[in-house]
């Protein structure tokens, strides 16, 4: 969006108004692919029946079905893979030179059907405000070298796309930096920063490394510069993301790179909340936990996708570990950061998952008592190592196991949320609730944007109105299965 905006495009969230349509896609599991294709077909109708002149498909679906997309959906004019962001301009027929008189109106949407909020131009990271090169200064950037683990995996064929007819064999290598123009599509107070791209892990169910390429970290100073620019423009909450954030800096020669980065970012004045998602379980170091504990503005929140708890299934997933090992890790985390909220996700129905394997997972969930938990049905993906495994779990079994775990978590969550009633905490007011205009919605540091339960605000306390993006002191007055209800007490900086 930033590149298009800088080239002079006017962005709109209304497809019927757009002359160029851009659909950003996902393709890591079947449901995501289906949603992506449905969105492309919906947008294609705007081209055949409406005013749109061009349809561009971007993102992971292109990495997987580059040739097929245009062959099967002739309305598509151009495709832009995950490593070719800058070619969006050529695809759109725009030059990269800044212009203020573009004849184009461009829609950016995503395949989840959520239309992006396009920030006003004042929120754009303007050229003149971008930091200049920092050469000559002491650098934490190190030199990019692919990780030995990644090189070994590459030799063993981890990243091959041979099974995907229509995909190019070249892996993406692109990384954006702090000079890449960017528009925020998140509410004003919150922003994501991608600190690394790609993944070197061998998880046998996962094709993300084949889609996104080998692990590579953004330069340390580039991440810091971007965070400083965002905070200077009013962002108060930053969420660091990447396929595996806990590997951050290994390819730059940094030790404990994520902890070092968090420690640096936490010192940015006015940054109220800082968090990271997608930690790999065996990379939770003492230093990382100490860093989370030491800074008030690092959210006491850890997202640790574990995928399963049965050692047999974890072994076949090529992730290793077991319920016992995970319980020790959780104990270590909770001891180092008291009160930390833990999120995880699991896959049910991996090939060969026996009833006993499933029960091990169920017992583990009952014991671990996660604050937030997602359960995904195994998706059989061509190109993944698990694709050739026998003993597929029947679809009905997968769905009934998924429901059973969600029911278990519902009762765990309901009991745990009761203990929140009466707690006073900091609340980020997000705006009127999508469910009813009578309530507002907000989040605490224990709720990551978009994925965890909600805090409904039914009492503004001393205020006539709240301001979205402002922090307030609040008290929890009610609890439900996953959601909470709060009363505002006072403003907070
Ligand atoms: S760590 Fe995550 S992204 Fe990487 S291969 Fe495993 S599941 Fe996929």
pLDDT digits (tens, 9 = 90+) for 36-53: 999 999 999 999 999 999
Alpha carbons 109 and 283: distance in angstroms, whole number: 35
- What count of other Cβ atoms lies within 10 Å of the Cβ of residue 332? 13
Contacts of 156 by beta carbon, 8 Å cutoff, 6+ apart: none
The answer to whether 86 touches 179, Cβ cutoff 8 Å, is no
Residue 112 pLDDT > 70: no
Residue 309 has pLDDT above 90, yes or no: yes
- The predicted-structure confidence for 217-229, as pLDDT tens digits, reads as follows 999 999 999 999 9
Q: Whose CA is nearest to atom 8 of ligand 1?
A: 206
- Please give the backbone phi and psi of residue 400, each rounded to the nearest 5 degrees, phi first: -70, -35
Residue 248 and residue 261: Cα distance in Å, rounded?
Answer: 9
pLDDT at 113 over 50: no
Q: How far apart are the CA of 384 and the centre of ligand 1, in A? A: 11
Residue with tokens 């449901």: 31
Helices then strands, each counted (H, E), the chain: 13, 18
Pocket test for ligand 1, best of 209, 344, 350 (most atoms within 8 A of CB): 209
Q: Is the pLDDT of residue 70 over 80?
A: yes
pLDDT top residue among 241 and 146: 241
Q: How far is CA 47 from CA 17, 68, 108, 146, 347, in A?
A: 11, 19, 15, 43, 39
pTM for the complete prediction? 0.92
| Tens of pLDDT, residues 176-219 | 999 999 999 888 899 999 999 999 999 999 999 999 999 999 99
Please give the average per-residue pLDDT across 292-313, as a whole number: 98
Percent of the chain at pLDDT above 70?
Answer: 90
The burial class, CB within 10 Å (0-12 / 13-18 / 19+), for 73 is middle
Kindly write down the DSSP assignment for every residue of 112-132, as one continuous string.
TSPBPPPPPGGGS--GGGSPP
In this prediction, residue 436 carries a pLDDT of 86
84-93, 124-133, 262-271, 389-398, range with the lowest pLDDT: 124-133
**Is the CB of residue 207 below 6 angstroms from any atom belonging to ligand 1?**
no
pLDDT score recorded for residue 97: 63
pLDDT at 111 over 70: no
Q: Average pLDDT of 399-403?
A: 98
Has residue 100 got a pLDDT over 70?
Answer: no
Q: Give the CA angle between residues 108, 113, 117 to the nearest 5°.
A: 45
Please tell me the distance between residue 208's alpha carbon and the centre of ligand 1 in angstroms. Answer: 7
Q: Is the pLDDT of residue 234 over 80?
A: yes
Mean pLDDT of 395-409: 98
Mean pLDDT of 160-185: 91
**So what's the pLDDT on residue 122?**
34
**Is the Cα dihedral 73, 77, 82, 83 positive or negative?**
positive
Residue of 244, 247, 283 to mutate, ligand 1, most atoms within 8 A of C-beta: 244
- The pLDDT value recorded for residue 132 is 38
**pLDDT exceeds cutoff 60 at 130:** no
Check residue 108 and give its pLDDT: 62
Whether residue 367 is predicted with pLDDT greater than 60 in this model: the reply is yes
Q: How far is the CA of 327 from the centre of ligand 1 (A)?
A: 21
Helices 257-265 and 286-294 cross at an angle (nearest 10°) of 10
**Residue 468: its pLDDT value, please?**
96
> Which amino acid residue places its CA nearest to atom 1 of ligand 1?
201
Whether the CB of 33 sits within 6 Å of ligand 1: no
């Amino acid at each position: 969006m930033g590149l298009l905006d800088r080239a002079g495009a006017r962005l709109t969230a209304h497809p019927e108004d757009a002359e160029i349509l851009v659909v950003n896609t996902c393709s890591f599991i079947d449901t995501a692919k289906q949603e992506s294709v449905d969105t492309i077909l919906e947008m294609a109708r705007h081209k055949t029946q409406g005013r749109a002149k061009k349809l561009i498909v971007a993102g992971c679906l292109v990495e997987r079905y580059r040739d097929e997309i245009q062959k099967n959906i002739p309305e598509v004019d151009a495709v832009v893979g995950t490593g070719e962001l800058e070619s969006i301009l050529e695809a759109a027929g725009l030059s990269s030179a800044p212009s203020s008189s573009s004849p184009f109106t461009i829609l950016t949407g995503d395949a989840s059907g959520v239309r992006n909020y396009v920030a006003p131009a004042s929120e754009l990271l303007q050229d003149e405000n971008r930091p200049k090169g920092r050469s000559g200064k002491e650098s934490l950037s190190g030199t990019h070298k692919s990780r030995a683990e990644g090189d070994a995996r590459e030799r063993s064929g981890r990243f091959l796309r041979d099974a995907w007819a229509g995909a190019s064999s070249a892996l993406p290598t692109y990384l954006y930096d702090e000079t890449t123009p960017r528009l925020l599509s998140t509410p004003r107070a919150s922003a994501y920063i991608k600190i690394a791209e790609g993944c070197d892990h061998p998880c046998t169910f996962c094709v993300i490394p084949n889609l996104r390429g080998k692990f590579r970290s953004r330069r340390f100073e580039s991440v810091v510069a971007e965070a400083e620019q965002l905070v200077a423009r009013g962002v108060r909450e930053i969420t660091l993301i990447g396929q595996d954030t806990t590997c951050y800096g290994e390819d730059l020669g940094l030790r404990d790179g994520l902890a070092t980065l968090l420690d640096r970012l936490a010192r940015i004045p006015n940054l109220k909340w800082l968090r990271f998602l997608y930690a790999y379980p065996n990379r939770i170091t003492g230093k990382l936990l100490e860093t989370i504990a030491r800074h008030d503005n690092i959210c006491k929140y850890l997202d640790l996708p574990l995928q399963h708890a049965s050692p047999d299934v974890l072994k076949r997933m090529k992730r290793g570990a077991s319920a016992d090992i995970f319980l020790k890790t959780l104990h270590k985390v909770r001891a180092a950061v008291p009160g930390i909220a833990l999120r995880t996700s699991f896959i049910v129905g991996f090939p060969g998952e026996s009833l006993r394997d499933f029960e091990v997972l169920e017992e583990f969930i009952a014991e671990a008592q996660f604050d937030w938990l997602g359960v995904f049905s195994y998706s059989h993906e061509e190109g993944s190592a698990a694709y050739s495994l026998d003993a597929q779990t029947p679809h009905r079994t997968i769905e009934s196991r998924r429901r059973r775990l969600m029911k278990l978590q519902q009762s765990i969550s309901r009991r745990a949320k009761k203990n929140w009633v009466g707690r006073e905490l900091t609340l980020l007011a997000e705006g009127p609730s999508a469910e009813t205009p009578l309530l507002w919605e907000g989040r605490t540091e224990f709720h990551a944007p978009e994925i965890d339960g909600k805090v409904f605000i039914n009492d503004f306390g001393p205020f006539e109105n709240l301001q979205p993006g402002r922090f307030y002191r609040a008290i929890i007055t009610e609890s439900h299965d996953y959601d909470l209800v709060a009363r505002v007490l006072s403003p907070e900086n």
